[in-house]
């Protein structure tokens, strides 16, 4: 079979449709569960469309930022974003992302760099799958802590989680979904799942935007690929956000875990 990327990328309508369909799927999963952007889009671009890993990571970061921006508005309108937690996550993730960009190895055509990105991506996908597999929904009726719960050690742990997510997202475009949400479940067990998803999406927008701009500055972004992905993702995340309150996460979680583990094994 002829590889998809052997055709003129922007001259063939079929390629535009494939990229838009991929964006639609990623956006829908992000809106529904907070997972699916980098976890699926980056390996899909690398393995199916043979996009160079640094280009796939950089383009997907900007794709995630613009896609999730629409999701933030949808969750904010329903009062499902905890902006205090989002702020503490960003206090850790933004500096960590900027530091990672400064230490990024030069030369995106270097084969060793591509291999390193694939290994980091595979490791991040494995962590994401484990986070999805073992995270638990808070028991019904669990009291939600007031905003003062960020005082003391919990606020520091939130910043530390943000720093870890910032590094992983900048290196692989993975981490701001399942890993971040699973960590929030541990720190704030009384917070409703839909509110955690909305909070993590709100955190991911500025993080992926900063990381994506940094990658773009290094030439790791394909603008035309980005446009095609966004054509599908923006309606996708709107549909996913509307279904979030109606459809149980348990319906999609096992399939998503198996898919992530399969992709991780191929990359590793």
pLDDT beyond 70 at 31: no
Residue 6's pLDDT is 43
Residues 39/128, Cβ–Cβ less than 8 Å: yes
Mean pLDDT of all residues in 72-83: 85
CA 33 to chain centre: 11
Radius of gyration of the chain from its Cα atoms, rounded to whole angstroms? 18
pLDDT beyond 80 at 160: yes
pLDDT beyond 80 at 164: yes
Find the range with the poorest average confidence among 1-10, 88-97, 160-169, 243-252.
Answer: 1-10
CA 163 to chain centre: 15
pLDDT beyond 80 at 220: yes
Q: What percent of the chain has a predicted confidence (pLDDT) above 90? A: 13
Of residues 160 and 107, more confidently modeled: 160
Find the range with the poorest average confidence among 112-116, 206-210, 255-259.
Answer: 255-259
pLDDT beyond 70 at 34: no
Q: How sure is the predictor about 5, in pLDDT bands with cuts at 50, 70 and 90?
A: very low
pLDDT digits (tens, 9 = 90+) for 108-136: 456 677 777 878 878 877 877 777 677 65
Cα–Cα distances (Å) from 255 to 1, 4, 23, 200, 262, in that order, read: 27, 26, 19, 22, 11
């Amino acid at each position: 079979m002829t590889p998809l990327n052997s055709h003129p990328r922007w001259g063939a309508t079929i390629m535009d449709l494939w990229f838009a369909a991929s964006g639609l799927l990623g956006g829908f999963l992000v809106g529904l569960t907070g997972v699916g952007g980098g976890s699926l889009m980056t390996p899909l671009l690398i393995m199916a469309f043979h996009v160079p890993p640094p280009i796939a990571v950089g383009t997907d970061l900007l794709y995630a930022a613009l896609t999730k921006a629409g999701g933030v508005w949808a969750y904010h309108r329903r009062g499902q974003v905890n902006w205090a937690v989002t702020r503490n996550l960003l206090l850790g993730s933004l500096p960590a992302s900027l530091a990672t960009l400064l230490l990024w190895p030069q030369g995106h055509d270097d084969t060793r760099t591509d291999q390193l990105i694939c290994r980091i991506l595979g490791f991040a996908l494995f962590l994401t799958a484990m986070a999805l597999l073992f995270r638990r929904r808070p028991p019904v009726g669990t009291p939600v802590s007031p905003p003062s719960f960020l005082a003391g050690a919990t606020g520091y742990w939130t910043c530390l989680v943000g720093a870890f997510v910032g590094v992983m997202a900048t290196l692989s475009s993975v981490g701001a979904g399942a890993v971040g949400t699973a960590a929030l479940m541990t720190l704030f067990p009384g917070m409703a799942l839909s509110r955690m998803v909305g909070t993590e999406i709100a955190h991911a927008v500025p993080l992926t935007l900063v990381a994506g701009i940094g990658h773009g500055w290094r030439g790791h972004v394909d603008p035309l690929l980005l446009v095609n992905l966004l054509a599908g993702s923006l309606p996708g995340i709107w549909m996913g956000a509307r279904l979030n309150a109606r459809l149980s996460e348990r319906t999609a979680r096992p399939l998503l875990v198996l898919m992530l583990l399969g992709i991780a094994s191929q990359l590793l």
